[in-house]
C-alpha cells in the first residue's frame, strides 16, 4: 500500500490548490481524479470574475495552468475512481479502483455533479439531445432550436453562449424572474436570440433517435404545450459527490459535507473543500481559498500528530 503525506480526492480548483500548497510545502502529495483536471470549471466557456484575468479566461485554460503549477512543485496525479475511506489511526486510507492508498491527511475535493430533472425521456435521450454542458456540446447544435432549463448564473450564462450556434434559444424557468446576477441577466434580456418562458417546467422529453420535442407545463395554468427542439441543456443545480463518505463523514440533508472555518470535517485529519462542502458561495475564487486553508491547516496537523 503506497503511503503519502496528503491525498486529495478531486482535481478541480479546490483540489489543485490544495495540491499546490501541499507540494510546495514539501509534503508528499497525491491527487486523484476520475477524468482529468478542472472538474466542472474545465467545461466553462469563459470565466470573467476570477481575479488576475482582466479579459477573462476559459475554464479549460485556467484548469490547465492550475494543474501545471501543482505538478511543477511535485504533486502526483492519478486517474482512478474513489470507492471509500477507512480509518487506521493515525492514518486514513483511500480505497480506489487502482488499489488502496494510505495518507496522513485526506482532503476531499470531489465537487458536485449536475442535478437531473428526473422527467420522462431525460435518461433516454441523454447524449442524444439532452446535455448538461453547453461548452462541450453547443457546437453540435449549429442552426438549431435549443431549450435551456434553469434561472441561475449557469443556466443564463450558458443560454447566452448557445446563441452563438443556435437559431433560437428558449430559456425555461419555473419562476417569473431570473436568479442570476444583475450583469448576467442584463446580457440575457437584451440578447435578440433568447426567448424566456416563465413559470414553466419540462413535463416530458420526446423524440425518435434524437430529441425532437419537449412538452412544457405551465405551473400557473397547468396547460401542456409541445415545442419542437433539437437539444435541451439542463442547469437546475448540482448534487455533491459524497456517496463514498456517507457512512463516515457528517453531511447536510442535501448531502454536502459539514466543515468548520479550517475546512475540518468531523473526522480529524479529513478535510473538505470546494463545491462538495456546505458553504454560502460556490465559485472558483472561494474554491481556491478553501484549498489553501485546508492544505495549510493539514500541514500543521501532520506536524503535531506524526
Residues known to be catalytic: 133, 136-137
* C-beta contacts of 263-270 below 8 A and 24+ residues apart: 263/107, 263/290, 263/293, 263/294, 263/297, 264/297, 265/108, 267/87, 267/92, 268/301, 269/90, 269/92, 269/104, 269/105, 269/106, 269/298, 269/301, 269/305, 270/85, 270/92, 270/105, 270/106, 270/107, 270/108
Cell reading at 293: 486553508
Whether cis (ω within 30° of 0) applies to the bond prior to 91 is: no
Provide the CA 148 distance to its chain's centre, in angstroms. Answer: 18
In contact, 134 and 162? CB cutoff 8 Å: yes
Contacts 24+ apart (CB under 8 A), 120-123: 120/203, 120/204, 120/205, 121/204, 121/205, 121/206, 121/207, 121/211, 122/202, 122/205, 122/234
Amino acid at each position: 500500500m503506497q503511503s503519502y503525506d496528503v491525498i486529495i480526492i478531486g482535481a478541480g480548483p479546490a483540489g489543485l490548490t490544495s495540491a499546490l500548497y501541499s507540494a510546495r510545502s514539501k509534503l508528499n502529495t497525491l491527487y486523484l481524479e476520475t477524468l482529468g483536471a478542472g472538474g466542472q470549471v474545465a467545461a466553462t466557456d469563459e470565466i470573467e470574475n476570477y481575479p488576475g484575468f482582466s479579459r477573462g479566461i476559459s475554464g479549460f485554460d485556467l484548469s490547465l495552468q492550475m494543474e501545471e503549477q501543482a505538478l511543477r512543485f511535485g504533486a502526483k496525479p492519478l486517474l482512478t475512481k474513489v470507492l471509500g475511506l477507512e480509518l487506521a489511526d493515525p492514518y486514513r486510507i483511500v480505497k480506489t479502483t487502482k488499489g488502496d492508498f494510505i495518507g496522513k491527511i485526506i482532503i476531499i475535493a470531489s465537487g458536485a455533479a449536475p442535478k437531473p430533472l428526473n422527467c420522462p425521456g431525460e435518461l433516454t435521450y441523454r447524449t442524444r439531445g439532452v446535455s448538461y454542458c453547453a461548452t462541450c456540446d453547443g457546437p453540435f447544435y449549429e442552426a438549431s432550436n435549443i431549450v435551456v432549463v434553469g434561472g441561475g448564473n449557469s443556466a443564463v450564462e450558458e443560454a447566452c453562449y448557445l446563441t452563438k450556434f443556435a437559431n433560437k434559444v428558449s430559456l425555461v424557468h419555473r419562476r417569473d424572474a431570473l436568479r442570476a446576477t444583475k450583469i448576467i441577466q442584463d446580457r440575457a434580456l437584451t440578447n435578440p436570440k433568447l426567448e424566456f418562458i416563465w413559470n414553466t417546467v419540462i413535463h416530458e422529453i420526446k423524440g425518435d433517435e434524437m430529441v425532437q420535442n419537449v412538452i412544457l407545463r405551465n405551473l400557473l395554468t397547468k396547460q401542456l404545450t409541445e415545442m419542437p427542439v433539437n437539444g435541451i441543456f439542463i442547469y437546475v443545480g448540482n448534487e455533491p459527490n459524497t456517496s463514498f463518505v456517507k457512512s463516515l463523514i457528517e453531511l447536510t440533508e442535501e448531502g454536502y459535507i459539514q466543515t468548520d472555518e479550517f475546512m475540518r470535517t468531523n473526522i480529524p485529519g479529513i478535510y473538505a473543500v470546494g463545491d462538495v462542502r456546505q458553504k454560502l458561495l460556490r465559485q472558483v475564487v472561494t474554491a481556491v481559498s478553501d484549498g489553501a486553508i485546508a492544505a495549510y491547516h493539514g500541514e500543521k496537523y501532520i506536524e503535531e500528530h506524526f
